[in-house]
Amino acid sequence: MATKNDLIEALSKEISYLSKEDSSEVVNLVLEYLTEMLVQHNKIEIRGFGSFSIRSRKYANSNKLYNTVYYRMAKNVMDSTTI
């Protein structure tokens, strides 16, 4: 599993003219944006990776609802992971 620091490292290596601080800022901005979209119950689709959405679930033996993040993997990712 990749962590935020792994993303920052990969970004700074891939785009060599970005400093670690700039790479960190970019990753933080993207994650903030994705979080805000999910808070607003918007669906997020990242082509070739998958999609995220918010789903309401019921607690067991109760009518109370809670929200959870739902992730659906892209089909091409699923095809490449089969053995």
In Å, how far are 30, 37, 46 from 34, measured between CA atoms? Answer: 6, 5, 11
Count up the domains in the chain and report the number: 1
Give the C-alpha separation, 4 to 45, whole Å. 19
57 occurs within a structural domain: yes
CA-based Rg of the chain, rounded to a whole angstrom? 17
Model pLDDT for residues 28-54, shown as the tens digit of each residue: 999 999 999 999 999 999 998 899 999
Q: Is the pTM of this model over 0.85?
A: no
Write down the mean pLDDT value for the chain.
91
Domain housing 72: 44-83
SS3 11: helix
